[in-house]
Amino acid sequence: YEETVLNAMDLRLLNRIQTVTWDQVQRAADLACGTGRIGVWLKQQGVRSLDGVDMTAEMIEIAQTKGVYQQLLIGNMLETSLEPASYDLVTVSLADEHLPDLHPLYREVARITRPAGYFVIVGFHSYFLLSGIPTHYNRDTGESVTIQSYVHLFSDHVQAALQAGLSLREMHEGLIDEEWIAQKPHWSRYLNRPVSFAMVWQQEHR
């Protein structure tokens, strides 16, 4: 998806979050950081120090140009080399749909998050994916390539999080509204349908 659509899916929801006091976050990890969109937003909110992880070297190179990350690592967000219990905040945005199983993600987040630290996850709403709207990207040639997506119910997130020792603190769902349609008129048939969600989890005291 182009950046305007991605921003409507995740940044609008991140702006609603009240649980996390962003400018009090000393150290954050941006998993599946991609080109650094979320990293830029986090720094704009006042997050002090930020590390990023992504599997794709090309994405990491672009993220590096944003100048917001303390360190950027090429790696799997399910098995990072990040230090345990070292982050006040961990974020994952629009990436969980690529995972067949959520449990490894929540376990890794729990491993690297400090006691009482937060995990903010933004994803495609299951309704959106079940409606047959695939995630995709465009090659330089203009060719659209569909990416395999897995549908996760909210109960899947809850079960994986609880088993990892995380507690739900806040949740939001994003709808395709009139503001969205004003930017993307061809989405009008999806008006008032859910497209994304945001959950805020907190690490239980160890």
Q: What is the average pLDDT value for the chain, to the nearest integer?
A: 90
Does residue 158 sit in helix, strand or coil? Answer: helix
pLDDT band at 4 (very low <50, low <70, confident <90, very high): low
Q: How far apart are CA 125 and CA 146, in angstroms?
A: 17
Average pLDDT over residues 186-202: 92
**pLDDT by residue (tens digit) across 99-114?**
999 999 999 999 999 9
pTM for the full predicted model: 0.89
End-to-end CA distance of the chain: 39
Domain of residue 93 covers: 3-203
Closest Cα to residue 49, out of 70, 34, 20? 70
pLDDT band at 61 (very low <50, low <70, confident <90, very high): very high
The CATH number linked to 36 is: 3.40.50.150
Inform me whether the pLDDT recorded for 177 exceeds 70. yes
Contact 117, 90 (CB under 8 A): yes
Does residue 87 sit in helix, strand or coil? Answer: strand
Inform me whether the pLDDT recorded for 16 exceeds 70. yes
- Predicted local distance difference test score (pLDDT) of residue 22: 98
Position with higher pLDDT, 184 vs 3: 184
Inform me whether the pLDDT recorded for 80 exceeds 90. yes
- Domain count along the chain: 1
Closest Cα to residue 163, out of 94, 103, 89? 103
- Which burial class, exposed, middle or buried, applies to 198 when counting CB atoms under 10 A from its CB (0-12, 13-18, 19+)? buried
Q: Which residues pair with 87 in a beta bridge?
A: 113
